[in-house]
Amino acid sequence: MNKCDIGIYGLGVMGQNLSLNFASRGFSVAVYNRREADEENITNTFITTKCQGKKIIGTRNLEDFINSISLPRKIMLLVSTGNAVDEVINQITPFLDVDDIVIDGGNSHYRDTARHLSQMESQGFMFVGCGISGGAEGALKGPSIMPGGSFQAWDKIKFMFQAIAAKNEDNNPCCEWIGPEGSGHFVKMVHNGIEYALMQLIAESYDIMKRLLFMSADEICSVTSEWNSGALNSYLMEITRNILKVRDTDSEPLIDNILDCAAQKGTGRDISISALELGVPVTAISESINARLISTMTTERSLAAHEFINTTQYAGDRKALLKVLEDALYCSQIIVYMQGFSIIAKGAIEYKWDVDLTQIARIWQNGCIIRSKILKAMCASLKKNLVDNVLLNPTFKETIKQKHSGWRKTIMIAITHGIPVPVLSSTLSYFDGICSEHLPANLIQAQRDYFGLHGYEKINASRGIFFHSKWDR
């Protein structure tokens, strides 16, 4: 029997769809899923229901799986994050040969990936931590792929990964080498953080339309459809429009029957922690996670609702509010992407990764969840490892100048009526902070020196010279 080009371990949503994608590009695939007692044979079911006539072979046990793959082996793990990855690496390692390549395609923490990399390289194997975005459909038809780790592995997997990746408008694959260690998973973590914030921004706009303008799902659908055909065109806007069209069994819009309690997995939390560790303000991302946490406080919300706020219909010009809301969404999205790129830039400096921001913006242009017209425009303005120029770039500078009063107006109206807009407003505060030549941090420094003798710098002295005062004298 001919050996397979690649092995996929883990036949959940991603494993199955990526196997089919590899096979559709002409690669032969060996697949394996653990079999717990009493569990249905997932491998068999997948092979018999979805793989007829395709170059995908099911394997019964680990040894069989590993032996079905041609040397040097390329083995992709698509298992749950955390302990599962450690367990699987430990299971397969005894069967590997020197120069085999193990690729973790899940959402592992970048520090775990760095640990796995040194563990594997010390035994003569190669390891790649590979962020993949695009959900089930992307995995099947072409995701955005962010690989990093053992650079020697790139030469051997590049043609396969670029073949299965989405292509951008220039027909270039949305898959490029990110850098060493856990950089691929770091960039994927940031991608997911941006995703959280963009989703929350659309949700806040929906809330303003629903609770302030009393618009029906169909009316909101028309607005999102219009936005999606203009400057706010994005994958997330497109799926929002599609979601708003769907009816439940009672013929009512399904969206109106869904409980307003949002779940999350780990990557959003991970980026907030990493941002604090690296000293980078990613306020939009952190606020979007907080907003999901508040949404889960259903009992508390139900008790407090109507005690303090009684949202009434907006009495002002409805058309004008929709226009400024569109402007607000545009400006806030720029800040969300900018915060995402700024943590990648800081991470690259801190961890000594030579990461190319323009390349990352390019591989996010198709296949992934955060693809958008704004991101496409931003790609041209990002210099290698430099984000300072996003706001000062002529395209964005002029647009923000035109739109930022609408941004403020939207937030004022929402706040006055008791509609929470944590990401719309935190992005504006970030913008105002960045644009303030003077901030009240002088008072913070004085307070720190008062109680902790931390010292302060003075305006007319050189930077780095610290002064103390006897404040309570």
Residues 6 or more apart whose Cβ sits within 8 Å of residue 369 = 133, 134, 135, 138, 191, 195, 235, 236
One residue of 20, 23, 78, 89 binding ligand NDP per CB under 6 A: 78
| Nearer of residues 91 and 152 to ligand NDP, judged by Cβ | 91
Report the 10 Å Cβ neighbour count for 466: 13
One residue of 7, 8, 15, 174 binding ligand NDP per CB under 6 A: 15
Among residues 74, 176, 181, 195, the one annotated as catalytic is: 195
Report the 10 Å Cβ neighbour count for 269: 16
**Is 79 near ligand NDP (CB under 6 A)?**
yes
One residue of 4, 11, 30, 363 binding ligand NDP per CB under 6 A: 11
One residue of 31, 117, 132, 223 binding ligand NDP per CB under 6 A: 132
The answer to whether 286 and 429 have CB atoms below 8 angstroms apart is no
Among residues 188, 376, 403, 409, the one annotated as catalytic is: 188
Pairing assessment for the beta strands 56-58 and 29-32 based on DSSP bridges: parallel
**Is 193 near ligand NDP (CB under 6 A)?**
no
Report the 10 Å Cβ neighbour count for 325: 25
**Is 387 near ligand NDP (CB under 6 A)?**
no
**Is 135 near ligand NDP (CB under 6 A)?**
yes
Q: Least Å distance between CB 79 and ligand NDP?
A: 4
Residues 6 or more apart whose Cβ sits within 8 Å of residue 278 = 343, 346, 347, 350
One residue of 7, 10, 148, 179 binding ligand NDP per CB under 6 A: 10
Question: Quick check: is 219 catalytic?
Answer: no
Q: Least Å distance between CB 13 and ligand NDP?
A: 4
**Is 111 near ligand NDP (CB under 6 A)?**
no
Question: Quick check: is 470 catalytic?
Answer: no
One residue of 24, 25, 84, 162 binding ligand NDP per CB under 6 A: 84
Handedness of CA 452, 454, 459, 461 (dihedral sign): positive
**Is 93 near ligand NDP (CB under 6 A)?**
no
For 224-242, b/e burial (b = at least 16 CB within 10 A) is: bbebbeebbebbbbbbbbe
Burial-class residue 330 by CB neighbours within 10 Å (0-12, 13-18, 19+).
buried
Query: What does the binding site for ligand NDP look like in residue numbers (CB under 6 A)?
Result: 10-15, 33-34, 36, 42, 78-81, 84, 87-88, 106-107, 132, 135-136
Residues belonging to the active site: 188, 195
